[in-house]
Amino acid sequence: MPADSSHPFPLDPVVLGQLACPACLGVLRVDEDRLVCAGCGRGYPIVDGIPVLITERAVLGDNT
Ligand SMILES: [Zn+2]
């Protein structure tokens, strides 16, 4: 068991910078265990460190 678990989500920021929301091509940011689009507010799950950028799997944000 690793003592340092400060990075439970080790997604490479360089990779993150190349990703875009498949729905609106907005900028994605990390929010805990998912990626949240700054454009449309959709939240994409991250499975085993890999973002699932599928619109059908996205959770619509309710922060209008
Ligand atoms: Zn979007």
How much distance in Å is there from the Cα of 55 to the middle of ligand 1?
Answer: 9
With cut-offs at 50, 70 and 90, classify the pLDDT of residue 3.
Answer: low
Rounded distance from Cα 3 to ligand 1 centre (Å): 36
* Ligand 1 centroid distance, CA of 27 (Å): 7
- Interval 14-48: pLDDT, tens: 887 889 999 999 999 988 889 999 999 999 999 88
Ligand 1 centroid to Cα of residue 9, in Å, is: 21
- E strand intervals along the chain: 28-31, 34-37, 43-47, 50-51
- Whether residue 9 contacts residue 49, with contact meaning beta carbons closer than 8 Å, is answered with yes
Phi, psi for 12 (deg, rounded to 5):
-65, 125
